[in-house]
Chain A
Amino acid sequence: MALITCDNVSFAYEGRTVLKDLSLTIERGEYLCIVGENGSGKSTLIKGLLGLLNPSAGKITYEKGFLNTAIGYLPQKTEAQKDFPASVWEVVSSGCHDLRLFTTKKQQEKIHAQMELLGITGLKKRSFADLSGGQQQRVLLARALCATQTMLLLDEPVAGLDPLVTREMYQIISMLHREQNLTVVMISHDIQAALHHGDRILHLSHGESYLGTVEEYLKSPLGMRFAGGDDHV
Chain B
Amino acid sequence: MFELLVEMFSLKAMVRAGVAGLMVSLCAAVLGVCLVLKRYSMIGDGLSHVGFGALAIASAMQLAPMAVTLPVVVLSAFLLLRLSSRGKLKGDALIAMISTGALAIGIIAISLSNGTTSDIKSYLFGSILTTSKGDMWLSVALTVVVLSLFAIFYRKIFSVTFDETFARATGEKVERYNMLLAFLTALTIVLGMRVMGAMLISSLVVFPALTAMRVCKSYKNVMLCALAVSVVCFFSGLCFSYILEIPTGASVVVTNILAFLVFWGIGKVRKA
Contacts and interface: CB of A to CB of B under 8 A. Distances in A.
Interface string B148-177: 000110111011001101111111000000
Interface in B29-73: 37-39
Interface in A76-94: 78, 80-81, 83-87, 90-91, 93-94
B61 to A, nearest CB: 42
Interface in B1-42: 37-39
B218 A127 contact: yes
A68 B170 CA distance: 8
Contacts of A67: 171
Given A81-B162, A94-B159, A127-B217, A69 B38 contact: no
B168 A100 contact: no
Nearest to A125: B218
Contact of A85 (B151, B156, B219): B219
A50 B169 contact: yes
Interface residues of B, number: 27
B218 A85 contact: yes
B222 interface: yes
B220 interface: yes
Contacts of A81: 162-163
Contacts of A144: 166
A101 B154 contact: yes
A90 B221 CA distance: 11
B163 A78 contact: yes
Given A73-B170, A75-B165, A80-B38, A85 B222 contact: yes
B239 interface: no
A91 B155 contact: no
Contact of B158 (A68, A78, A86, A125): A86
Interface string B89-120: 00000000000000000000000000000000
Given A86-B219, A90-B219, A95 B170 contact: yes
Contacts of B154: 101
Given A73-B169, A75-B165, A97-B170, A87 B159 contact: no
A111 to B, nearest CB: 12
A19 interface: no
Interface centre among B152, B170, B219 (most CB of A within 10 A): B170
A75 B168 CA distance: 11
Interface centre among A67, A100, A125, A129 (most CB of B within 10 A): A100
A100 B159 CA distance: 11
Interface in B121-167: 151-152, 154-156, 158-159, 162-163, 165-167
A75 B169 contact: yes
Interface centre among A69, A99, A103 (most CB of B within 10 A): A99
Contacts of A90: 158, 162, 218-220
22 contacts: A51-B169, A68-B169, A69-B169, A75-B163, A80-B37, A80-B39, A81-B162, A85-B37, A85-B217, A85-B221, A86-B158, A86-B162, A87-B220, A90-B220, A93-B155, A94-B155, A94-B158, A94-B163, A94-B167, A99-B156, A127-B217, A147-B169
